[in-house]
Amino acid sequence: MKIGVTGATGQLGQLVVGKLKEKVSSESIAALVRTPEKAAGLGVEARAFDYSKPESLAASLVGIDKLLLISGNEIGQRLPQHLAVIAAAKQAGVKQIFYTSILHADTSSLGLAGEHLATENALKASGLVYTILRNGWYTENYAGSAKGAIGAGAFIGCAGDGKIASAARADYAEAAAIVVTSEGTENKTYELAGDTAYTLTDLAAEISRQTGKAIPYNNLTETQYTDILKSFGLPEGIAQMLSDSDTGASKGGLFDDKKQLSALIGRPTTPLATVLAEAIA
């Protein structure tokens, strides 16, 4: 059995490859990346896999039995990229595709959900065996702003009192490796989220506890938050995506309490405090 992992040099992809190597031989894994030289440190076969060259994708998938399609990071371009991968997988004879989608993609109010749901529907229509991993928010998405909040004296956002059931990126990577190497996953959808939900007020309180500094949460309007993110130098599209996601969180879009993720990995998900401590350090 050969397992292919797209985006294997990315933040999630590297972790997935590491977890897969604990379960199968390195020879059973192929890193599908734009620049194979950058995958040298992964210790697995690296194959050129460039979304901008869809005509070359099928050749790179020859011999791949299971394909983990980690969603692309080019917002607005992901659907055509994913469709090209699905078509190439079918042409190359891939037996099963695993796709990292977004939590509750079919009901989510997050703008990000559209491309994910369209990809899910394309997978279901393709005739290929599929498995959908609907990943919730990565705790690192918020923890990465902790140092800036400490410097500014406040954590900002527009999520209101929305509960966020995030988990560490490593938790999702471990779940992906388990599902890809397990039997009985055909045509299943997994809703994956952290065990313990928190609000951004709770997050700010935890930063305050760990630093001994009073770091309040300042809730803004979506427009205000977008403008501030742009003033930090973020591209408009990324700023809008982040503020839209916060607004989605305020409506419950990042909440789930079914604990499928911890059930899959056989342990509690990584606590918010742990991820924050690593980010602050």
pLDDT greater than 90 at residue 16: yes
- The band of 69, judged by pLDDT with boundaries at 50, 70 and 90, is very high
C-alpha to C-alpha distances, 22 to 10, 15, 19, 178, 181, nearest whole angstrom: 19, 11, 5, 10, 11
pLDDT the model gives residue 154: 98
DSSP 3-state of 213: coil
pLDDT greater than 90 at residue 74: no
Superfamily name with CATH number, domain 143-148+153-163+195-256+266-280: UDP-galactose 4-epimerase, domain 1 (3.90.25.10)
Alpha carbons 108 and 114: distance in angstroms, whole number: 9
Summarize the chain as % helix, strand, coil (round to 5). 45, 15, 35
Alpha carbons 113 and 121: distance in angstroms, whole number: 12
Across the range 22-41, mean pLDDT stands at: 97
Tens digits of residue pLDDT in 155-190: 999 999 999 999 999 999 999 999 999 999 999 999
Alpha carbons 85 and 100: distance in angstroms, whole number: 13
pLDDT greater than 90 at residue 25: yes
Mean pLDDT score of the chain, rounded to an integer?
97
DSSP 3-state of 47: strand
Q: What is the DSSP letter of 212?
A: S
pLDDT greater than 90 at residue 146: yes
Specify the pTM: 0.97
Handedness of CA 22, 26, 27, 32 (dihedral sign): positive
Domain parsing of the chain, residue ranges: 3-134, 143-148+153-163+195-256+266-280
Tokens of 75: 């917002």
- The band of 52, judged by pLDDT with boundaries at 50, 70 and 90, is confident
pLDDT the model gives residue 196: 97
pLDDT the model gives residue 49: 97
pLDDT greater than 90 at residue 30: yes
The crossing angle, in degrees rounded to 10, of helices 222-231 and 236-250 is 150
With a pLDDT cut of 70, the percent of the chain lying above it is 100
pLDDT the model gives residue 138: 97
C-alpha to C-alpha distances, 188 to 97, 123, 165, nearest whole angstrom: 11, 12, 21
CA atoms within 13 A on the CB side of 136: 30
pLDDT the model gives residue 275: 98
Tens digits of residue pLDDT in 184-215: 999 999 999 999 999 999 999 999 999 999 99
pLDDT the model gives residue 73: 86
| Cβ proximity of 141 and 166 under 8 Å | yes
Superfamily name with CATH number, domain 3-134: NAD(P)-binding Rossmann-like Domain (3.40.50.720)
